[in-house]
Amino acid sequence: MGEFSIWHWLIVLVIVMMVFGTKKLKNIGTDLGQAVKGFKDGIRDAESTEAAASTTTATTASAAPGATSEVSRKLTAHDVVDVAEVTAKTTTQEPR
C-alpha cells in the first residue's frame, strides 16, 4: 500500500512536466548546476587563499627575524607561558 511502483513515478513526472513545462525544468536544472559549480569554485579559491596566506606568513616570519608578525607574537606569548611553567616546576623539585 505504501510502496510506489515505476508507474506511480512516471505519473508524477508527467504531472510535474505539465505543471512546470520542460523549459522551466531545464532552467531549474541549469541554475542548480551553476550554483554547485560556483560553490566548488569558491571552496577551491578559499583553500588556495589560505594556503597562500600561510606560506606568505611563514616566509615573512623566517625572512625577517627581527620583525614581529602576529604569528610570532602568538608563539612568543605561548612559549613564555610554557617556560614559566617549566621554571616553576623545576624550582619546586628537590635537586638530585
The confidence score (pLDDT) of residue 39 equals: 94
Domains of the chain, by residue range, sit at 6-92
**The pLDDT of residue 6 is above 80:** yes
Tell me the C-alpha distance between 70 and 76, whole Å.
10
In which element (H, E) is residue 86 found? helix 70-92
The confidence score (pLDDT) of residue 32 equals: 94
pLDDT in tens, 20-73: 888 888 898 999 999 999 999 999 998 888 888 777 666 555 555 555 555 555
* pTM for the model: 0.41
**Looking at per-residue confidence, does 30 or 4 come out higher?**
30
The region, left, alpha or beta by phi > 0 then psi within -120 to 50, assigned to residue 21 is left
